[in-house]
């Protein structure tokens, strides 16, 4: 838990005008600040922001609160996540903020950590010589490096062993890798399930990697896509591709496109639409 003292410290250090400005346009009028209210269908700027009181109030729909309430209601996230967001925005650091907010057991924590480290490794590999084939594939699909970064795309080394070795060197146990669905056992060896494939990480609403979808890039008759198996943190039928980004973008756009596949999400992104998800 984050202590009330830390929450109060963040509230005092944050400037509500700056925080709200990072979400919507804020207009300065004399000594006061106004904005078009995002909580109702506002035509005029009805949302008033008081710098002296560090609160906001909409004189049309009545919505009001402090810096945390705004972020909480705007992003539709739990209060404690709003506190973290604000801390992030103002560059406030505290060890307390790094503690997990959700009550996840130790084993789940390790599985999530294995998935995160694997995702980081795959993304890194994509930018190295080992990832050339993956990079070429994405280039052919008109997926720019910026897009690769935005969607945290990656490539799993072909040998199937080096990624596992690196992950184990990072103190991630085979057990966690197994529970995370990353390894397969083959002739008494542990190999990466996604070897030689382009990696599309899948996220949950907490922006945590919960699994992967991996596409083959050669002409073999292997399955075109290999998805993570269902694990403690991943259930294929409950995951939407690009959910974590669409969640934020949909607030501004006011809609979400539901598409059939990743490539649809990328195509929409290329035409400036970020609020789309794909079914798994």
56 vs 203, beta carbon nearer Zn ion: 56
Interface region with Zn ion, contact rule CB under 5 A, candidates 53-61, 120-128, 134-142, 190-198 = 53-61
* Residue 183 found at the interface with Zn ion (CB under 5 A): no
* Residue 61 found at the interface with Zn ion (CB under 5 A): yes
**Least Å distance between CB 247 and Zn ion?**
21
Interface region with Zn ion, contact rule CB under 5 A, candidates 30-38, 102-110, 139-147, 157-165 = 30-38
* Residue 39 found at the interface with Zn ion (CB under 5 A): yes
57 vs 216, beta carbon nearer Zn ion: 57
**Least Å distance between CB 35 and Zn ion?**
10
62 vs 100, beta carbon nearer Zn ion: 62
* Residue 48 found at the interface with Zn ion (CB under 5 A): no
* Residue 58 found at the interface with Zn ion (CB under 5 A): yes
65 vs 261, beta carbon nearer Zn ion: 65
Interface region with Zn ion, contact rule CB under 5 A, candidates 56-64, 112-120, 199-207, 241-249 = 56-64
* Residue 24 found at the interface with Zn ion (CB under 5 A): no
29 vs 93, beta carbon nearer Zn ion: 29
* Residue 40 found at the interface with Zn ion (CB under 5 A): yes
Choose which of 10, 17, 26, 37 interacts with Zn ion (CB under 5 A).
37
Helices 132-140 and 106-126 sit at what angle, rounded to 10 degrees? 80
31 vs 41, beta carbon nearer Zn ion: 41
Token pair 């897009």 is at which residue? 147
Helices 162-169 and 106-126 sit at what angle, rounded to 10 degrees? 130
**Least Å distance between CB 39 and Zn ion?**
5
**Least Å distance between CB 17 and Zn ion?**
17
Interface region with Zn ion, contact rule CB under 5 A, candidates 34-42, 114-122, 123-131, 134-142 = 34-42
What span, in angstroms and rounded, lies between the C-alpha atoms of 239 and 47? 36
**Least Å distance between CB 123 and Zn ion?**
40
Buried b (16+ CB within 10 A) or exposed e, 11-32: eeebebbebbeebbebeeeeee
Kindly state the number of chain residues that form the binding site for Zn ion, as judged by CB under 5 A.
7
Give contact residues for Zn ion (rule: CB under 5 A): 37, 39-40, 58, 60-61, 63
């Amino acid at each position: 838990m984050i202590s009330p003292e830390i929450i109060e410290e963040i509230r005092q250090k944050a400037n509500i005008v700056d925080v709200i400005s990072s979400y919507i346009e804020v207009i300065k009028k004399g000594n006061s600040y106004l904005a078009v209210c995002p909580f109702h269908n506002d035509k005029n700027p009805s949302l008033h922001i008081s710098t002296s009181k560090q609160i906001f109030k909409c004189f049309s729909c009545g919505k009001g609160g402090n810096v945390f309430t705004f972020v909480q209601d705007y992003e539709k996230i739990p209060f404690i996540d709003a506190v973290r967001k604000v801390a992030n925005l103002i560059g406030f650091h505290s060890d307390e903020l790094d503690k997990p907010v959700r009550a996840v057991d130790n084993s789940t924590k390790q599985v999530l950590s294995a998935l995160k480290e694997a995702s980081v490794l795959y993304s890194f590999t994509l930018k190295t010589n080992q990832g050339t084939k993956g990079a070429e594939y994405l280039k052919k699909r008109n997926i720019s490096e910026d897009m690769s970064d935005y969607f945290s795309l990656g490539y799993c080394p072909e040998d199937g062993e080096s990624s596992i070795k690196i992950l184990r060197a990072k103190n991630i146990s085979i057990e966690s890798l197994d529970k995370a669905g990353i390894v397969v056992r083959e002739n008494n060896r542990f190999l990466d399930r996604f070897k030689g494939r382009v990696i599309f990480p899948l996220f949950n609403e907490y922006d945590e990697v919960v699994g992967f979808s991996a596409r083959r890039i050669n002409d073999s008759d292997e399955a075109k896509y290999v998805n993570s198996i269902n694990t403690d943190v991943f259930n294929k039928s409950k995951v939407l591709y690009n959910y974590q980004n669409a969640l934020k973008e949909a607030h501004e756009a006011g809609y979400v496109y539901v598409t059939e596949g990743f490539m649809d999400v990328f195509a929409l992104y290329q035409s400036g639409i970020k609020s789309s998800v794909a079914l798994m």
